[in-house]
Amino acid sequence: MSRRKITFKQAAFAAVKAAAVGAAAFFVVRTFVVNWPEVREGWRAPAVWPAVLAALALVASYLWLFGVSLAVLRRVGYRLTFRAGLRPFFYTLLGRYIPGRVAVILGKVYIYEKRGVPRLAAALAPAYENVFAAIGGVAVSLAAAAALFAGRFSWWQLAPALAGVAALAVFIQPPVMGRLLAWAMRRFGALKLERDATIKTRGALAFAAAYGGYCVLLGAFFAALAAAFVPLDAGGAARAGAAFVVASVLGYVVVFAPSGLGVRESLLIVLLEPYMGAGDAAFLAVVSRVVAVAAELGFAALAAAVGGDDAATPTPPT
């Protein structure tokens, strides 16, 4: 078996990506350590009701994302029951901590195939998910960024979100998705689809809006989490939630950072520092990551305990 040679350009690019992630992580750790006295002095037990609301919003966000994932799979032609879909979704969700999100896609392809989904359809579903997540996430983050930098929300701030949707909408047009289908057929050796699995514009916009709803839930989670630990009024909590949405989406876009690790936290500190101390911002950035990882591990354990292995069934053509 011949080994694939790595060119100097590829090695240099990998080194730059690793250095960028390392620099972001170093910034977060350094901010946390330098401001540790402030964090320690300002520490208090979390307020109960905001903490409860944060937990509910976080759980709701994962269940929402799980439901959208099942809906995308149904749209490309195959249905999984709630129990049978738990393991493909929550197992592969942990693959986000491997750079590039390749592990998430390949993991879903592998498990979907084990459930009886043809390889091409199994590949299309996570590919669609990433496209729709990018469109919905960018739209919501643009609106959140406009509100954050203006210091308050007004309806005109939806204009950047609408502009972002219009610019990104080209990626969900049938001709573009047709090219995606052609690529998938070449990549996975399939000659043709048994049915038209292209998601048309109306359905694609609905899925993008669903992923936008997921981002709103993420913002609600962090707004409540911030209010649980730091004295904030309603406006301050809303700004914290908006900052988290912006940082999370940018962390998602930076695919070489595992689950945006380091990138999301450093951006969050920069965005939150004008509204609270650097110590509180760093503390919330780290705590939100720890809570998210714990939730994902918990859901994966739940999927292992109660998830099923039922085969997928074809859905009627639409």
Q: What is the pLDDT of residues 180-213, one digit of tens each?
A: 656 655 655 554 555 566 777 788 888 888 998 9
More confident residue, 26 or 109: 109
More confident residue, 266 or 56: 56
Choose the most confident range, by mean pLDDT, from 8-17, 96-105, 231-240: 231-240
Provide the pLDDT for residue 2: 44
Distance (Å, whole) CA 130 – CA 103: 13
Give the mean pLDDT of 278-298: 90
Provide the pLDDT for residue 222: 96
Range with the poorest average pLDDT among 44-58, 135-149, 200-214, 281-295: 135-149
Is the separation of the CB atoms in 86 and 301 below 8 Å? no
More confident residue, 10 or 127: 127
Provide the pLDDT for residue 202: 80
Provide the pLDDT for residue 136: 84
* pLDDT for residue 318 is more than 50: yes
Summary mean pLDDT of the chain: 79
Which of 116, 142, 114 has its CA nearest to residue 250? 142
Provide the pLDDT for residue 179: 65
Q: What is the pLDDT of residues 152-190, one digit of tens each?
A: 555 555 566 566 566 556 655 656 666 665 665 565 555
Range with the poorest average pLDDT among 58-67, 159-168, 268-277: 159-168
Give the mean pLDDT of 217-244: 92
Give the mean pLDDT of 87-115: 85
| Cβ atoms within 10 Å, residue 20 | 15
More confident residue, 15 or 79: 79
* pLDDT for residue 143 is more than 70: yes
* pLDDT for residue 39 is more than 70: no
Distance (Å, whole) CA 171 – CA 266: 29
Provide the pLDDT for residue 231: 86
pLDDT bracket for residue 225 (50, 70, 90): very high
Q: What is the pLDDT of residues 71-86, one digit of tens each?
A: 999 988 899 999 999 9
Share of the chain above pLDDT 90, in %: 30
